[in-house]
Amino acid sequence: MLQFYKAAPLENPPHRLLHGKKGPAYVHVDQIDSIFTYDELRDVAKAVRQVGGHEVHCLAWEFEMELSRKKEALVAETGVNIRLKYIPREIMESNRKEVQFFEAGALEARAIVKDDKVDVELVRFTPALAEVPEKELAALHERAIKSPFDFIDFWAVDFDYSPDKPFEHHWQDFRTRKDRSLKTHSDLGWKYEAPGKHQIAVKVIDVFGVDTTAVLDVEV
C-alpha cells in the first residue's frame, strides 16, 4: 500500500498508528474494507502530535459520513494538518503498478421548508482531488474554489434517511452528454406523513467518480 502511495515505510514506527512517511507527513493505512471513523482519526491525529509531527495522510477504503467536515475540529484541536485519501479498488488488481489516491471531498447543504414541504439546496462542495503533479493540482484547486459545482456529475436526496437502511433516491439530477446543466436546488417539495424531526441524506458523485455525503436534520 505504501509503495503505491509512494510513501516510505517506517522500520521503527514511533507509534503503532503511524505506518509510513511521505515527505514531512506521516501516513496511516486503515484496515482492509473497513470504515475509517472519527474516533480513529482522533487517535491518529493525537499520535502524530505526540511524536512531534504536523501532518498526516490517512488512507482508507471508506470514511465515516461527513468526516471531511468533522476533521476541521481536530485540526484546530491538535494543530495537525489532516488529509483523507481513498484507497482505490484498482490496487487489488495483480497487474497494477500505479493508481490514483483521491482526497475525500466535503459537502454542505441545507434544507428549505416552505408550507410543510421540504427541498434541499447545495451550499458548498469541495471535490475529491487526485494525486497529480503540483502544477495541475494548483489549477484544479483554483477551479474548485471558483466553480466547485462544476465538478458534480450527479447528486441525489434521501428525504427520509436512516443510518440503518440503504440510501433511497427520492430525487436526483445529473449531467448528460447533451445537457451539461445541473440543478443545485431540488424541486420535489417532499412532504412528511408525520410532523417532527427527520433526517435527510444528500449524496454527490463528482467527475472523478467519488461520492460525498452530508446528513441534515430537519423539523416540520
The model's pLDDT over 66-85, given as tens digits with 9 standing for 90+, comes to: 898 889 999 999 999 999 99
Topology, domain 8-102: Transcription Regulator spoIIAA (3.30.750)
The pLDDT assigned to 33 comes to 82
Domains 8-102 and 106-126+148-219 share a fold: no
| Dist. CA 50–CA 61, nearest whole Å | 26
Whole-angstrom Cα distance, residue 34 to residue 32? Answer: 6
pLDDT band at 132, cuts 50/70/90?
Answer: low
Averaged over 124-136, what is the pLDDT? Answer: 76
pLDDT at 135 > cutoff 80: no
Please tell me the predicted confidence (pLDDT) of residue 163: 87
This prediction's pTM: 0.78
Q: What is the mean pLDDT of residues 161-172?
A: 94
**Distance between CA atoms of residues 84 and 71, nearest Å:** 9
- Where are the chain's structural domains? 8-102, 106-126+148-219
The band of 161, judged by pLDDT with boundaries at 50, 70 and 90, is: very high
Q: Is a pLDDT exceeding 80 seen at residue 138?
A: no
Residues 178-195 have a mean pLDDT of 95
Select 106-126+148-219's CATH number: 2.60.40.10, 2.60.40.150, 3.40.190.10, 1.10.530.10: 2.60.40.10
Could you read off the pLDDT of 12-31 as tens digits, one per residue? Answer: 999 999 999 999 999 999 99
Instruction: Give the model's pLDDT for residue 94.
Output: 84
